[in-house]
Amino acid sequence: MLRRILYISCAAEGTTEQALRQIIATAQLKNRRRDLSGVLAVGKGLFAQVLEGSQADVGETLARICGDSRHGDIRLVLDVPTRTRIFDRWSMALLVEEAAGELAHAVRDDRREATDLIDHLRDLLARDPLYWSSGLRTLALAA
Ligand SMILES: Cc1cc2nc3c(=O)[nH]c(=O)nc-3n(C[C@H](O)[C@H](O)[C@H](O)COP(=O)(O)O)c2cc1C
């Protein structure tokens, strides 16, 4: 049995595009070694991240992520056992898209279900990467 989690956190003040690229590079490298998959969506001032993989690897990685000073106020909004992966093609996809960011805010504020956000991220990744990766440069990360 696998485990899938989704958390939403607040990006540390002054998080830059450069910092984001570093986070993703590390995540992709480490996740590939552990056979973890998922997506990191970035909204104004927040991160929403899905991680899926073995119980042990998701647990260990989440603990590491929770101790990272590049973000804070981490809220676990979904934690489910599963037999199948949703993001199996991605060790960690970086997704910057306005609607995803707004949905992440709504999930965080309990105005929408966590599964709505996951469905949205899955649908986005099924589209052309040019569509969901082009927002990075224009995004103001600080809230
Ligand atoms: C928003 C965010 C998402 C992250 N996602 C991952 C991830 O998916 N996998 C991972 O190994 N590290 C991830 N990291 C980085 C970890 O927090 C940690 O810095 C990294 O794994 C290196 O840990 P180590 O120095 O203890 O080896 C993330 C960090 C942040 C701020």
Q: Return the CATH number at 70.
A: 3.30.70.100
4-63 residue pLDDT tens = 999 999 999 988 888 998 999 999 999 999 999 999 999 989 999 999 999 999 999 999
- Please indicate whether residue 112 or residue 89 has the higher confidence score (pLDDT): 112
Residue 140 CA, ligand 1 centroid: distance in Å = 22
143, part of any domain: no
> What total number of domains does the chain contain?
1
Residue 129 CA, ligand 1 centroid: distance in Å = 23
18, part of any domain: yes
- Residues 122-133: what's their mean pLDDT? 83
62, part of any domain: yes
pLDDT computed for residue 130 by the predictor: 75
Q: Give me the domain span that covers residue 134.
A: 2-138
For the Cβ of 118 lying below 6 angstroms from any atom of ligand 1, the answer is no
Give yes or no for a contact between 43 and 108, defined as CB atoms under 8 angstroms apart.
no
pTM of the model: 0.94
pLDDT computed for residue 140 by the predictor: 45
87, part of any domain: yes
Assign 3-class secondary structure to the chain: CEEEEEEEEEECCCCCHHHHHHHHHHHHHHHHHHCCEEEEEEECCEEEEEEEEEHHHHHHHHHHHHCCCCEEEEEEEEEEEECCCCCCCCCCEEEECHHHHHHHHHHHCCCCCHHHHHHHHHHHHCCCHHHHHCCHHHCCCCC
**CA of 68, closest atom in ligand 1:** 17
96, part of any domain: yes
Residue 73 exposed, middle or buried by CB count within 10 Å (0-12, 13-18, 19+): exposed
Residue 141 has pLDDT above 50, yes or no: no
Q: Which residue's C-alpha comes closest to atom 12 of ligand 1?
A: 27
- For residues 46 and 42, what is the distance between their CA atoms, to the nearest angstrom? 6
133, part of any domain: yes
Residue 105 has pLDDT above 60, yes or no: yes
129, part of any domain: yes
Residue 142 has pLDDT above 60, yes or no: no
pLDDT confidence band for 129 (50 / 70 / 90): confident
pLDDT computed for residue 18 by the predictor: 87
Residue 26 CA, ligand 1 centroid: distance in Å = 6
For the Cβ of 68 lying below 6 angstroms from any atom of ligand 1, the answer is yes
**CA of 29, closest atom in ligand 1:** 11
Helix crossing, 17-34 with 55-66: angle to 10°?
160
Residue 70 CA, ligand 1 centroid: distance in Å = 10
